[in-house]
Every structure is written in C-alpha cells, then in structure tokens.
C-alpha cells in the first residue's frame, strides 16, 4: 500500500501577479484622473487676454466726456490695428484730435469727431 502513495508529488507554488496588476491599474487610473482634473482647472481659468484684446476693450469703453483722455487712449491703442486700408483714416482722426491734446483747457469733443472714432473702433472689432 505504501507504494501506491509514492506518485503523489509535493505542493507546487503558482506565481500570482494579481496584486501587481491591481497596483498598476490603480496607478494608471490615478494618472488619468489627475490629468483630467488639471485640464479642467486650466480650462476654467480661461485664457489670458492678449495685448491686442486689452487695447480693443479699452477703445470700446472710451469715456468721451473726457476728451483729452479719449484722444490719448485712441491715439495710443489704435496703432496695433492699423494696416494699409485704415492708416489714412486713422491719421485723419488723429489730426482732428490734436486740439484735445497738449493743452490744459480743452473744448468738449465735437460730435463728428466722436462719431468718426466710434465708427473706426467698431470696424476694428470686425477684423
């Protein structure tokens, strides 16, 4: 009877890598989640406004009751938007604005100059 039992072999260890696979899957999921959270937060902040966008916004919100300040801001901020098509018109407007600059007491801005400036700024917005 003892001879029949000699065929039974000892226990064999089977390699188990399930823990390693679990750790890798959890790590991969964490990396993906952290990337998505980062992109979401970055997108929430929005893009910073460019210099051109800031200048256009300042032109749109000109206070024409202060003719001197309006003339300076218009002259200073329009230069980024100039090209061959609007350079002459810009120069004409700037020539009209000279009476509102470099003086202590200035007259109120006339409605025609004001209207020209508004039209010029609205055309800049369309570009």
User: Whole-number mean pLDDT of the chain?
Assistant: 83
Q: What DSSP element (H or E) covers 113?
A: helix 111-126
Report, as an integer, the average pLDDT of 91-118: 83
CB proximity list for 52: less than 8 A, separation 6 or greater: 80, 81
Q: Which of 121, 102, 107 is nearest to 62 (CA)?
A: 121
Predicted local distance difference test score (pLDDT) of residue 22: 96
Q: Residue 115's pLDDT band (boundaries 50, 70, 90)?
A: confident
What is the reported pTM? 0.58
pLDDT digits (tens, 9 = 90+) for 23-55: 999 999 999 999 999 998 887 776 777 788 888
> Token pair of 16, please?
């188990």
pLDDT digits (tens, 9 = 90+) for 48-99: 777 888 888 888 888 878 888 888 888 888 888 888 888 898 888 888 888 8
């Amino acid at each position: 009877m003892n001879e029949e039992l000699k065929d039974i072999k000892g226990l064999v260890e089977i390699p188990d890598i399930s823990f390693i696979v679990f750790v890798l899957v959890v790590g991969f999921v964490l990396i993906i989640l952290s990337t998505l959270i980062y992109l979401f937060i970055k997108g929430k902040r929005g893009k910073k406004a460019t210099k051109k966008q800031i200048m256009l916004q300042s032109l749109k919100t000109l206070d024409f009751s202060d003719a001197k300040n309006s003339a300076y801001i218009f002259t200073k901020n329009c230069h980024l938007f100039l090209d061959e098509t609007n350079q002459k018109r810009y120069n004409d407007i700037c020539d009209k604005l000279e009476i509102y600059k470099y003086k202590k007491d200035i007259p109120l801005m006339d409605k025609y100059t004001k209207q020209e400036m508004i039209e010029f700024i609205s055309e800049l917005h369309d570009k």
